[in-house]
A = this chain, B = another copy of it.
Amino acid sequence: MLLRSLLPVCMRGVRSAGTPRVMHQLASTTKPALDISGIYPPISTPFDEREQVDYDKLEENLQKYSSIPFRGIVVQGSNGEYAYMSREERLEIVHRVRQKLPKEKILIAGSGCESTQATIEMSRQMGEAGAEAVLVVTPCYYRGRMTSSALVHHYTKVADSSPVPVILYSVPGNTGLDLPVDAVVALAKHPNIIGIKDSGGDITRMGLIIHKTQHLDFQVLSGSASFLLAGYAVGAVGGVCALANVLGAQVCELERLCVSGQWQEARKLQLRLIEPNAAVTRSFGIPGMKQAMEWFGYHGGNCRSPLVPLTEQEQKELRGFFTNNGWL
């Protein structure tokens, strides 16, 4: 197993004083103690006119995010356009973000590749670049053969050698593939697999995963702000939400209301976030998210091609979803 879980807790990003959500590590358990509960923006990558990474703008966004009570950030998630980046770029961004990010914030880095070997290598390098955990998307190109057993084998190999804890990542909207519940349950027993980001939005499935892993300290994160309240209601511990790039404080407020049991207030807020969230995910995707970021004082920047910017009509519709819910 990894060396990491042998390190003192203080070096592993576990929440320090002031937070009630430290997962209590007992001597006997081998499960890494990294508590990932909380809200994370899966940060976008601003590109300049030549589609090159604009590190200055990226850092300015980080600066602005620093006042929001995020638990950490996700770098190189789907919203970071990782699929359009070279290995070198992915690592460089993680390296730079870790340097700028306050120490108490967790950096989760996307390290998934199609092949097991590449994912192992990338996870190792992400750990070296400063990530506290890696988020590993399901390989999907040969989805007809990505059976439960193939996926269990893949993730086991990756987790066996990763220097940092592994978070499973199921995002059927992009991959056309749901990580099967039985695979999740099997993998939850691995000492270096600490949770899952589930972006599918099937609350029954999320509840089932939570139910079947409840004795395993396995942490479920909602993969979108649209079902964040429902996720908390069934036992999720946080969320990685594209919308947090735009309305970060509001998403964190929703977290606070859920965690403190103010469900009535939480519901009111949740309902106002669904349309803006759908707009920056399903409807208009990353170009929509980047456009909305500009309206809220962040640098969205260009996308890499083949992603194309919104048309004027699309921008208008997008804006409507924010204004109609009182956010603009």
Contact = CB atoms under 8 A, between A and B. Distances in A.
Contacts of A306: 115-116, 139, 146, 150-151, 153-154
A274 B116 contact: no
Interface in A15-43: none
A32 to B, nearest CB: 23
Contacts of A267: 233-235
Contacts of A73: none
Interface string A201-225: 1111001101100100000000010
Residues of A contacting B: mostly: helix
A208 to B, nearest CB: 5
B2 A304 contact: no
14 contacts: A83-B142, A115-B304, A116-B304, A142-B307, A145-B286, A146-B306, A154-B306, A204-B226, A207-B229, A207-B271, A208-B274, A211-B275, A229-B234, A233-B267
Interface of A: 2, 51, 78, 83-86, 114-118, 139, 141-147, 149-151, 153-154, 157, 173-176, 201-204, 207-208, 210-211, 214, 224, 226-227, 229-230, 233-235, 261, 263-264, 267, 270-272, 274-275, 278, 282, 284-287, 304-308
